[in-house]
Amino acid sequence: MKKKWIFAILIIVVLAVVLAIVFVNLFTPKNTTKLAQQVISITTTGYLSPDNKDNQKIDEFMTKVQTNPNLNETEREQIKNYISAYKAFEVMGGFFGRQLVYSKHTSVYSNNVNNIKKSLDDANSKAKAVASYIKGREEVIGQDVDVTTNEYVAQTWRSCVVNVKSLFDNTVSAFSRLTAVYNSCVTSPLMNNDMSKAAFKVANYFASEVKKELEAKDKPVVSTGTQYQSFKNVYFSKANEYQISNYQYSPMAWQVSEDILKAKDLTEYKTDSSSSQQWGWFVRGEIYTFPAGAAAANYDLEVAA
């Protein structure tokens, strides 16, 4: 009899615990703070912070090796691309970190958060591995090796390029998912229009182009990394990010994106295409003359999955 009572109480306790968990989940406000914390941490102290030691070591090494005569032309151009793209990642990471603090929790967030976290963690580990490898090669002790020769430095690069590539792949993957997360929580009729999406499309397009160029063995490398960096500075830097959120009513941002989208080979990309006259004309209310969304619709830009 006593055992039965204990059993009954046990069931009630278990049910109470289950119910408590259900209620806590129901009433706990869902937000994006966990991911925001990670992105902010990675851009302020992690591999995407210019103050981070691994970041500094990689940057210092790539700056040195980009002119190495023992590497072929394609390899040198690829390194230039990596340098620019890495700087673009820093800008983009800062943007996402700031935005996530204020973002709403959506199903897109739930579906992507673990993959984003994993990609950023993996990229951070790869940055550590690359920096540690470079450091190890530079400080080799007990062997009769001249660590300053072009041949030795070129060999260091060729040995660590796989990890550098993995660092980039993971970052690109995280950012394309972060773009989806950001877009899913934007509800304003102005912010969530085709043109603002185009800015992200172009950013992801650059990222995927950089990736393709870095993977290609024989394809001539163009300065996509530099363009990627410029584009992100125009749209996503702290001082300029208002252009994304104010996109619809910024003819300057609209024009830049239009130029990029029209220039299929990306060589005609210009950043300076605005004038105060355009602004004045716009402010007077001629806002509907912009074919919002038309440009994005005409070009089927590839968005990283």
Which positions lie near another protein, rule CB under 8 A? 4, 7-8, 11-12, 15, 19, 36-37, 40, 44, 97-98, 101-102, 187-191, 238-242, 245-246, 248-252, 276, 279, 282-285, 287-288
Q: Report in angstroms how near the CB of residue 121 gets to another protein at its nearest.
A: 18
Q: How far is the CB of 27 from another protein (least distance, A)?
A: 11
By C-alpha distance, which of 130, 203, 206 is closest to 166? 130
| Residue 267 main-chain phi, psi, to 5 deg | -80, -20
Is the Cβ of residue 169 or residue 241 nearer to another protein in the bound state? 241
> Of 204, 299, 195, nearest to 251 (Cα)?
195
Structure tokens at 132: 């540690």
Quote the least distance from Cβ 185 to another protein, whole Å.
10
* Residue number with CB closer to another protein (157 or 235): 235
Shortest distance in whole angstroms from residue 98 CB to another protein: 5
Residue type, 62: M
**Position of tokens 């509800």?**
187
**C-alpha–C-alpha distance, residues 106 and 35, integer Å:** 13
Q: Is residue 119 packed enough to be buried (19+ CB in 10 Å), middle (13-18) or exposed (0-12)?
A: buried
Closest CA to 206 of 129, 136, 261: 261
Give 223 or 278: the residue with its C-beta nearer to another protein. 278
One-letter identity of residue 299: Y
CB of 34 to another protein, least distance (A): 12
Task: For 241-295, give the DSSP string.
Answer: THHHHTGGG-HHHHHHHHHHHH-TTSTT--S----HHHHHHHHTT-GGGS-TTHH
Q: Which is nearer to another protein, 212 or 249 (CB)?
A: 249
Q: Which is nearer to another protein, 50 or 249 (CB)?
A: 249
Q: Which is nearer to another protein, 24 or 239 (CB)?
A: 239
Of 37 and 110, the one with the shorter C-beta distance to another protein is 37
CB 257 within 8 A of CB 294: no
Shortest distance in whole angstroms from residue 192 CB to another protein: 9
Residues 146, 152: contact at Cβ < 8 Å?
Answer: yes
Least distance (Å) between residue 97 CB and another protein: 7
